[in-house]
Amino acid sequence: MTADLSPTDRSTVRRGRERAQTDRQALYDVLSEALVCHLSVVVDGLPFVIPTGFGHDEGTLYVHGSTGSQSLRGGEGLPVCVAVTLVDGIVYARSVFHHSMNYRAAVIHGVARPLEGDEKTHGLKVITEHLAPGSWEHCRPPTRKELAQTAVLALDLHEASVKLRRGGPKDEDDDLTYPSWAGVLPVRQVFGDPEPCDLLADEVSVPSHVRARPPGS
């Protein structure tokens, strides 16, 4: 895997190309901070987009779900496209036309590969540790029956693009004196206080890997 993103024809950002990132680390940064991706597949000739959790390690993105999920079945060995989006702000311009959003986003193109055996368990661990770091060691491991009910797909991160927008509104010069507010309203992903399950025994306290989770981790 090269240090730079090496765009193919379909992963080359054309519109707003000055916002395209070339460093592969920018891709890992987006993936590390996001909790949800949108997986698109074509099933029986029709497009489907499914929001779902994911995980990644160097070079591979993992998604999982029920073996009965038609989007995951459709994704097996078939071309897929995954989008990952972080919204950083709403951009208020003096004109409605120039309102915008600040964001960091990644799009990954490729062929999803169903995993089995140790690879499948590894994919599940990566997903679990991405969404709930510390839970793989803390909780009961999956049983054979649970593993059989779960499909895990791996997508190579080779063919990917990253695009971001930062900064304030880009108003027309003629609009700069228009008396409306202009600027950015930041958007942040934060974790609230843990809410224990009603059925939790009194003596089970909130573990440090749940309590000490910083924003965007």
Ligand X SMILES: Cc1cc2nc3c(=O)[nH]c(=O)nc-3n(C[C@H](O)[C@H](O)[C@H](O)COP(=O)(O)OP(=O)(O)OC[C@H]3O[C@@H](n4cnc5c(N)ncnc54)[C@H](O)[C@@H]3O)c2cc1C
Restricting to residues 143-162, which ones interact with ligand X according to CB under 6 A? 161-162
Contact between 24 and ligand X (CB under 6 A)? no
Taking the C-alpha atoms of residue 167 and residue 182, their distance in angstroms, rounded to an integer, is 12
Residue matched to tokens 């008396």: 179
Q: What is the DSSP string of 78-132?
A: SEEEEEEEEEEEEEE-SSSTT-EEEEEEEEEEEE-EE--HHHHHHHHHHHHHHHS
Contact between 99 and ligand X (CB under 6 A)? no
Taking the C-alpha atoms of residue 119 and residue 64, their distance in angstroms, rounded to an integer, is 12
Cβ nearer to ligand X, comparing 82 with 115: 82
Taking the C-alpha atoms of residue 37 and residue 120, their distance in angstroms, rounded to an integer, is 19
Cβ nearer to ligand X, comparing 109 with 213: 109
Give the residue, chosen from 106, 124, 127, 151, that forms a contact with ligand X under the rule CB under 6 A. Answer: 106
Restricting to residues 45-84, which ones interact with ligand X according to CB under 6 A? none
The angle formed by the CA atoms of residues 162, 168 and 82, to the nearest 5 degrees, is: 20
| Piece of the chain touching ligand X by CB under 6 A; list 9-17, 46-54, 120-128, 198-206 | 9-17
Could you tell me if 155 and 115 are in contact, meaning their C-beta atoms sit under 8 angstroms apart?
Answer: no
**Nearest approach, Cβ of residue 120 and ligand X (Å):** 28
Contact between 41 and ligand X (CB under 6 A)? no
Contact between 21 and ligand X (CB under 6 A)? no
Contact between 14 and ligand X (CB under 6 A)? yes
Q: Applying CB under 6 A, which residues contact ligand X?
A: 10-16, 85, 87, 101, 103, 105-107, 161-163
